[in-house]
A and B are shown apart, each in its own frame.
Chain A
Amino acid sequence: QKEVEQNSGPLSVPEGAIASLNCTYSDRGSQSFFWYRQYSGKSPELIMFIYSNGDKEDGRFTAQLNKASQYVSLLIRDSQPSDSATYLCAVNNAGNMLTFGGGTRLMVKP
């Protein structure tokens, strides 16, 4: 069973702080990794994807991948109340099929 694990939270951070969201995966053959944001009652919205070890930055978001440790993270700098949502980590194992974690609920308090 290929698994993706996330802490369900809630993770509570003050406005302006850095939010750190973590994800581990079991399949060493996984090659691409995605972070989606999902607001309550809405569908997942792509934030970032990462394929290579290291960091990838896009605006306030940084994705970090460590394949040796089978670990993916998402950092959100200068967190805003509008960032409050559930963040889903997804792993592409083969053939474009995504395996999702259960999501981490982030709360950014003004």
Chain B
Amino acid sequence: ETGVTQSPTHLIKTRGQQVTLRCSSQSGHNTVSWYQQALGQGPQFIFQYYREEENGRGNFPPRFSGLQFPNYSSELNVNALELDDSALYLCASSTSGGLGETQYFGPGTRLLVL
């Protein structure tokens, strides 16, 4: 167990809807990163938050957005859901964004878009 929690564990939505996923970081960690993992593939970086500011973004469209709160927990919001958004969404927490800081993953939220 890493101390990183995510909710909900599973979610079913229909195309065009909006979804919010939540993550609580491990105690002492101030950086949260979000990843999308499609079936049979490695995780792909969506974005990272450090001290409530976006600290980098991968190749995902603007309908993927996020927030980090003062307690370092975070949300991932996805608007206008598409079928290809069906995936495991992973949150990882780490300490201050220095190069090489180890990221610890939560259990993930499995999203199915119908």
A residues with CB within 8 A of B: 4, 6, 31-32, 34, 36, 42-46, 49, 51, 88, 90, 92, 94-103
Contact = CB atoms under 8 A, between A and B. Distances in A.
Nearest to B41: A102
A44 B97 contact: no
A66 B43 CA distance: 24
Interface in B1-49: 31, 33, 35, 40-45, 48
Nearest to A93: B99
B42 A43 contact: no
B70 interface: no
B77 interface: no
Contact of B48 (A46, A97, A103): A97
Nearest to B108: A43
Contacts of A42: 107-108
Contacts of A31: 99-100
The 5 residue pairs across chains A and B that have the minimum distance between CB atoms: A100-B42, A32-B100, A96-B97, A43-B105, A43-B108
Contact of B101 (A90, A96, A102): A96
B81 interface: no
A96 B99 contact: yes
A98 B33 contact: yes
Contacts of B106: 43
B88 to A, nearest CB: 8
Nearest to A50: B100
A98 B45 contact: yes
A67 B108 CA distance: 32
25 contacts: A4-B42, A6-B42, A31-B99, A32-B100, A34-B102, A34-B103, A36-B105, A43-B88, A44-B105, A46-B104, A49-B100, A49-B102, A95-B48, A95-B55, A95-B97, A96-B33, A96-B94, A96-B98, A96-B99, A98-B92, A98-B103, A99-B45, A102-B40, A102-B42, A103-B41
